[in-house]
């Protein structure tokens, strides 16, 4: 590996670096793309491995620029190969940023500033920034920004910074209002994340008064954790985003959702309403929605006529029965784990062939009731090989009756239950059930009452009648009965 010591040494001469931490070398992350350095770590020649990194993370330090250093030529910095710079837990002075800007590597496309502070300090002369930066993505997360940085006097910096930006995140950064000047600066973004800021409704609505403002290219908007209680107030600002395809309004406080007409007619493809205390959803209509996340809410029922839906996430709700799939012809992924389902398939009210249309199903962590009514559900889970039930069998446990609590439902042998009447879907047998020895529930082996478990199935249980353990050993053997 060829090392070039000069850039780093000169960089260090130019910087006043203070850090409380003991000297430690830079370390690479496991995939060898990112080099993580305590600033003091750069003193160590070993740290020069960073010259080959694609991402450089500087952390736990104070970055300032000394007066003496101001005259130094930093042009060699441009020979570094990094395309992403991460500043984590640092205090950065504005003078440091301004000194550095002209010399950032051409390959640098992304800057993340996390858990840090941007200080202005004493007044500084803005350098001339003729061209816009090459940055395409900027993220400020949990960053205290000196408000004066947003003043008009910093416009040359804004022009430089936002010039070619496609993706901007200002997360948990105390953003309270958005003025026209600033909004105009970011009009060409495709991706905007303003999550976890105390932006008010009026603040959002005001930007629609800015003259000739339009976020024509905006595809993705995140307003997670914004204390929204209704979607209606978003109509005004969203009238400026004709191309919006992805809306994240998770972690708000909606309780009852009335899906406003302005959103029904948008070309939305993904909608995230998770973690928002939702108990009811009304008028959820769209001709384009493909992915809907309603997990971590309090829904007791859900039915939807969203014909275009491909992915539906309803984990961590209070559903007592599976949502009807009759109106969801394109659904491929369904997550209903951690609800209150006692069974999946209930006679004809849930059609097995509808479930068979899915590619992925999550339905574990539900309080399954392990009686004869569950046998159709078990049949389906055991026999399907077109649907990938990713949490089966580990997360599918009996909640009742008490004697079966904690038993994996796969290990139940419901041999005393009546053979289910042949239905159209029993013709779909494939995989394990096509083996004649494994047609659980379709052969009546004996007449003992109550379901049994195989010994490996976790909880052993004892009851009054002679203990009858039925060993069910999958493909290899049939059913062996010890009485």
Ligand X SMILES: *[C@@H]1O[C@H](CO)[C@@H](O)[C@H](O)[C@H]1NC(C)=O
The CA-atom distances, in angstroms, between 130 and each of 9, 159, 189, 281 are: 29, 9, 21, 51
Question: Is 20 a binder of ligand X (CB under 6 A)?
Answer: yes
* 414 close to 378: Cβ distance less than 8 angstroms: yes
Judge contact between 163 and 133, C-beta under 8 A: yes
- Contact status: 275 vs ligand X (CB under 6 A): yes
Q: Closer CB to ligand X, residue 93 or residue 197? A: 197
**Contact status: 343 vs ligand X (CB under 6 A):** yes
Q: Which two tokens stand for residue 253?
A: 């406080």
- CA–CA gap between residue 286 and residue 264 (Å, rounded): 5
Query: Is residue 353 near ligand X by the rule CB under 6 A?
Result: yes
> Smallest distance from the beta carbon of 61 to ligand X, in angstroms?
6
Give the separation between CA 183 and CA 34, rounded to whole angstroms: 33
**Residue 354-373 contact track with ligand X, rule CB under 6 A, x = bound:** x-------------------
Residue 292 or 389 having the CB closest to ligand X? 292
The contact pattern for ligand X, residues 175-214, with x = CB under 6 A and - = no contact, is --x-------x-xx-------xxx-x-xx--x--x-----
d(CA 98, CA 118): 12
Restricted to residues 302-341, the positions that interact with ligand X (CB under 6 A) are 321
Rounded Cα gap, residues 246 and 377, in angstroms: 35
Residue 142 interacts with ligand X (CB under 6 A): yes or no: no
Report if residue 272 touches ligand X, rule: CB under 6 A. Answer: yes
224 binds ligand X (CB under 6 A): yes
Pick the closest to residue 291 from 278, 279, 300, 304 (CA basis). Answer: 304
Judged by CB under 6 A, the residue of 125, 211, 212, 348 near ligand X is 348
**Residues 6 or more apart from 440 whose CB is under 8 A from it?**
378, 379, 382, 413, 414, 433, 472
68 to 97, contacts with ligand X by CB under 6 A? 89
Stretch that binds ligand X, among 79-87, 244-252, 434-442, 445-453 (CB under 6 A): 244-252
Residues 413-432 that bind ligand X (CB under 6 A): 424
- Of 248 and 415, CB closest to ligand X: 248
d(CA 17, CA 6): 18
Which contiguous run of DSSP H or E holds residue 12?
helix 6-14
The residue ranges that bind ligand X (CB under 6 A) are 19-20, 60-61, 89, 163, 177, 185, 187-188, 196-198, 200, 202-203, 206, 209, 224-225, 227, 229, 248, 250-251, 253, 272, 274-275, 293, 321, 342-343, 346-349, 351, 353-354, 424
């Amino acid at each position: 590996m060829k090392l070039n010591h000069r850039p780093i040494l000169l960089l260090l001469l130019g910087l006043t670096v203070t850090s409380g931490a003991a000297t430690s070398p830079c370390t690479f992350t496991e995939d060898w793309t990112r080099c993580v350095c305590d600033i003091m770590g750069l003193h160590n020649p070993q740290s020069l491995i960073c010259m080959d990194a694609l991402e450089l993370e500087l952390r736990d330090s104070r970055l300032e620029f000394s007066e003496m250093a101001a005259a130094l030529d930093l042009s060699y910095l441009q020979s570094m190969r990094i395309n992403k710079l991460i500043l984590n837990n640092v205090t950065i002075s504005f003078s440091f940023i301004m000194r550095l800007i002209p010399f950032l590597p051409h390959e640098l496309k992304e800057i993340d500033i996390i858990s840090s502070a941007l200080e202005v300090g004493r007044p500084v002369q803005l350098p001339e920034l003729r061209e816009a930066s090459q940055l395409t993505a900027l993220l400020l997360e949990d960053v205290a920004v000196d408000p004066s940085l947003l003043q008009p006097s910093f416009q040359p910096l804004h022009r430089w910074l936002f010039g070619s930006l496609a993706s901007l995140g200002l997360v948990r950064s105390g953003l309270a209002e958005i003025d026209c000047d600033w909004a105009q600066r970011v009009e060409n973004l495709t991706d905007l994340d303003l999550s976890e800021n105390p932006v008010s409704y009026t603040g959002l609505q005001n930007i629609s008064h800015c003259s000739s403002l339009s976020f024509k290219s905006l595809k993705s908007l995140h307003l997670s954790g914004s204390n929204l209680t209704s979607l209606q107030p978003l109509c005004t600002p969203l009238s400026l985003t004709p191309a919006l395809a992805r809306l994240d309004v998770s972690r708000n406080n909606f309780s009852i959702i009335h899906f406003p007409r302005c959103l029904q007619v948008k070309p939305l493809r993904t909608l995230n309403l998770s973690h928002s205390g939702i108990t009811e959803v009304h008028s959820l209509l769209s001709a384009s929605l493909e992915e809907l996340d309603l997990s971590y809410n309090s829904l007791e029922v859900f039915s939807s006529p969203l014909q275009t839906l491909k992915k539906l996430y309803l984990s961590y709700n209070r559903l007592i029965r599976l949502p009807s799939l009759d109106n969801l012809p394109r659904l491929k992924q369904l997550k209903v784990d951690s609800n209150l389902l006692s069974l999946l398939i209930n006679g004809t009210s849930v059609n097995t062939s509808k479930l068979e249309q899915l590619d992925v199903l999550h339905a574990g962590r539900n309080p399954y009731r392990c009686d004869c009514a569950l046998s159709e559900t078990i049949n389906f889970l055991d026999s399907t090989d077109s649907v990938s039930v990713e949490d089966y069998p580990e997360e599918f446990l009996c909640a009742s009756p008490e004697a079966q609590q904690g038993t994996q439902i796969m290990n139940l042998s419901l041999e005393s239950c009546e053979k289910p009447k042949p239905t159209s879907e029993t013709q779909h047998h494939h995989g394990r059930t096509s083996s004649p020895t494994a047609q659980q529930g379709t052969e009546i082996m004996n007449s003992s009452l109550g379901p049994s478990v195989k010994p490996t199935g976790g909880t052993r249980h004892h009851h009054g009648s002679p203990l009858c353990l039925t060993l069910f050993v999958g493909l290899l053997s049939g059913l062996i009965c010890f009485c």
